[in-house]
């Protein structure tokens, strides 16, 4: 009797959805996607989906054992460092192989005026030296970093999928939208709102990259928050295809 391999994908990214779409049709595989539940109306991948946290690394390890998971793929957002650390601990506890699926980070091009920082707090400290009208595209989580009195003179356009909650910048407009975004659309946002500085996380990928091109064209400085490294010792796939090959190699070797 054929053993069906259970693959748990920690998702929430475009790459996670594409990986799952490539795996669900394989009769040798049973795929579950886990979503954190931070977005009110997430785009659901095919196959089984669970929403919500596990209760830390121990909870994830218990779920993996209870549901007889054979392989774990961490395809969360590049900045979901807590979940990635929990995945490493849980995989070790449950004795299952772990792969990180991470799209490559962005690379500065000629004409870019990038300022690389290690955190949102560092980005906030730098902003008053760069501009007064800020396009903040780091999502609704972490806005507290930009709510300090030292930034009261700045105006923020905050773009996020869901409405942000306080604490927030004192002078702020909110743009609720979900990528992918077009270059023409990003150009229009910069022009219409008189944006003179952009703040972004190095999420990588094509869906939100047009804002970088628009900023380069306009000569606008960009504050780029560096992504945390993948935990040491975890193999990394750069594309859903690479991750799919890793999963299928596991099946072949098992």
Taking every pair of Cα atoms in the chain, the longest distance, rounded to a whole number of angstroms, is: 68
pLDDT of residue 36: 85
pLDDT of residue 47: 86
Q: If one looks up domain 5-104+229-253 in CATH, what number appears?
A: 3.40.50.720
Structural contact between residues 120 and 142, judged by C-beta atoms closer than 8 angstroms? yes
Domain 114-225 fold: Rossmann fold (3.40.50)
Structural contact between residues 57 and 33, judged by C-beta atoms closer than 8 angstroms? no
Residues of the chain scoring pLDDT < 70? 1-2, 38-41, 253-254
Query: Which of 56, 60, 50, 72 has its CA nearest to residue 6?
Result: 72
Burial class (CB in 10 A: 0-12, 13-18, 19+), 113: middle
| pLDDT (tens digit per residue) in 197-221 | 999 999 998 888 999 999 999 999 9
**Token representation of residue 39:** 């977005």
d(CA 213, CA 249): 38
Residues ≥6 apart with Cβ < 8 Å to 132: 153, 154, 155, 196, 197
Residue boundaries of the structural domains of the chain: 5-104+229-253, 114-225
Q: How many CB atoms lie within 10 A of CB 115?
A: 16
Q: What is the DSSP string of 153-169?
A: T-EEEEEESS---SS--
Beta bridge partners of 145: none
Asked if domains 5-104+229-253 and 114-225 share a fold, the reply is yes
């Amino acid at each position: 009797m054929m053993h069906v391999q259970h693959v748990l994908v920690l998702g929430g990214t475009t790459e996670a959805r594409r990986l799952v779409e490539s795996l669900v049709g394989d009769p040798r595989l049973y795929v579950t996607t886990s979503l954190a539940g931070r977005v009110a109306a997430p785009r659901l991948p095919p196959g089984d989906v669970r929403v919500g946290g596990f209760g830390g690394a121990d909870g994830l390890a218990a779920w993996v054992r209870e549901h007889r998971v054979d392989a774990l793929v961490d395809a969360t957002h590049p900045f979901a460092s807590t979940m990635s650390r929990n995945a490493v601990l849980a995989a070790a506890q449950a004795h299952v192989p772990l792969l990180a699926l991470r799209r490559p980070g962005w690379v500065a091009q000629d004409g870019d005026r990038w300022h690389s920082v290690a955190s949102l707090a560092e980005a906030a400290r730098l902003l008053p030296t760069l501009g007064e009208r800020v396009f903040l595209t780091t999502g609704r989580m972490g806005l507290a970093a930009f709510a300090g009195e030292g930034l009261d003179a700045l105006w923020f356009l905050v773009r996020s999928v869901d409405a942000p909650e306080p604490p927030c910048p004192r002078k702020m407009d909110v743009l609720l939208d979900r990528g992918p975004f077009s270059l023409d659309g990003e150009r229009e946002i910069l022009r219409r709102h008189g944006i003179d500085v952009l703040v972004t996380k190095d999420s990588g990928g094509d869906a939100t990259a047009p804002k970088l091109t628009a900023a380069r064209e306009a000569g606008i400085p960009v504050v780029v928050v560096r992504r945390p490294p993948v935990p040491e010792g975890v193999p990394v796939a750069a594309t859903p295809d690479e991750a799919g090959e890793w999963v299928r190699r596991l099946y072949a070797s098992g």
